[in-house]
């Protein structure tokens, strides 16, 4: 009697394993994965350490020059999806109608998010919080408008604030009421402008920053609520390295 012959093909061991997707190194704001170590966590993060035009910075009034880029903000009431991405609370617009014109080029708002305390300093002083409104052009260029939040004297719209997910695993929320970002901006349009970077890995440079001098308001309860989620999610200020800072 002939022995049974297996018809199951044999493959080299390396062909039997499914490819494993490459995972980015995790980063945080504390300890061995905090800002001082970002540049060594992943090959794509080296700019965080080696970059010469990093953000945030200390904006010193005495070191600014008069002048400003041509900027026009075009914000409309919009619904936002609110997420906790493990690093911040982030809000994404449900349409592309919020735009900013910077030096005659149009940028579309892609998201805004929060830091506590503020990332930028003004004359060496931090504020309680900072909001970054991130805009991108069709070519992928980035302009970020930033303004501080100061405790007291008012509040951020509760219809938005009360829906912030408390953890990364919590489902995103949708703000029912349409939020008009224009009404959140500080009354004074005085701002600082400079070229910097993303303030989180990969710390990409070539980002144009517009930082409002006057803070907007956040209530004591709202500040405490955010700090319960993220007590400290700010990157320390980086060297200016001779960069020009304009003030209008």
Quick check: is 87 catalytic? yes
- Find all residues with CB under 8 Å of 42, minimum gap 6, and list them: 24, 25, 201, 202
Token pair in block for residue 206: 């070539």
- Per-residue DSSP letter, 170: S
Contacts of 191 (CB under 8 A, 6+ apart): 68, 210, 211, 212, 213, 247, 248
The catalytic position among 37, 87, 113, 135 is 87
Taking the CB of residue 46, how many other CB atoms lie within 10 A of it?
A: 16
Q: What amino acid positions are annotated as catalytic residues?
A: 87
């Amino acid at each position: 009697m002939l022995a049974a012959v297996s018809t199951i093909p044999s493959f080299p061991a390396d062909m039997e394993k499914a490819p494993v997707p490459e995972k980015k190194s995790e980063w945080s704001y504390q300890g061995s994965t905090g800002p001082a170590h970002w540049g060594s966590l992943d090959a794509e993060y080296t700019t965080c350490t080696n970059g010469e035009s990093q953000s945030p910075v200390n904006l010193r009034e005495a070191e600014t020059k008069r002048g400003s880029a041509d900027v026009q903000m075009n914000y409309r009431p919009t619904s936002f999806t609110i997420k906790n991405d493990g690093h911040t609370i982030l809000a994404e617009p449900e349409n592309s109608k919020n735009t900013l014109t910077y030096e005659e080029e149009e940028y579309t708002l892609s998201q805004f998010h929060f830091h506590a305390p503020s990332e930028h300093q003004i004359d060496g002083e931090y504020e309680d919080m900072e909001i970054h409104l991130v805009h991108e052009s069709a070519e992928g260029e980035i302009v970020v408008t930033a303004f501080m939040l100061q405790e007291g004297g008012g509040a951020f719209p509760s219809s938005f604030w009360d829906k912030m997910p408390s953890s990364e695993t919590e489902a995103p929320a949708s703000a029912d009421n349409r939020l008009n970002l224009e009404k959140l901006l500080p009354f004074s349009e005085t701002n600082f402008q400079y070229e910097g970077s993303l303030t989180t890995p990969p710390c990409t440079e070539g980002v144009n920053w517009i930082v409002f001098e006057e803070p907007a308001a956040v209530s004591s309860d709202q500040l405490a609520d955010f700090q319960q989620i993220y007590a400290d999610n700010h990157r320390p200020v980086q060297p200016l390295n001779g960069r020009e800072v304009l003030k209008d």
